[in-house]
Amino acid sequence: MVALDGNSIGGLLLDVFGTDMTAALTTCATCGAVAPVAETVVYLRVPGTVMRCRTCGSVLMVISQIRGMSCVNLGGMTALE
């Protein structure tokens, strides 16, 4: 499976959040690392789109397409700003 970075899903995040999120800062709920979305590790079709922490590898965000709707799970991060 090819690991991409957060820039690769900039368009998807723009659709979901309505604004450019690649420069937004994520805070990992597992290790506390703070990093821009652009620097996270992204896997496509896992199923869904999975964003992982570059420091510890924990899942930060999962975006699934269910019946044409984007469902976002942000449970792996304590902040997105």
Residue ranges in contact with Zn ion by CB under 5 A: 28, 30-31, 33, 53, 55-56, 58
**Whole-angstrom distance, CA of residue 53 vs CA of residue 67:** 28
Minimum gap (Å) between residue 66 Cβ and Zn ion: 27
* CB-CB contact of 34 with 50 (8 Å): no
Please identify, using beta-carbon distances, which residue of 12 and 39 lies nearer to Zn ion. Answer: 39
**Whole-angstrom distance, CA of residue 43 vs CA of residue 5:** 8
Minimum gap (Å) between residue 39 Cβ and Zn ion: 12
Minimum gap (Å) between residue 60 Cβ and Zn ion: 8
Tokens of 57: 């590898």
Please identify, using beta-carbon distances, which residue of 21 and 52 lies nearer to Zn ion. Answer: 52
* CB-CB contact of 62 with 50 (8 Å): yes
Please identify, using beta-carbon distances, which residue of 7 and 55 lies nearer to Zn ion. Answer: 55
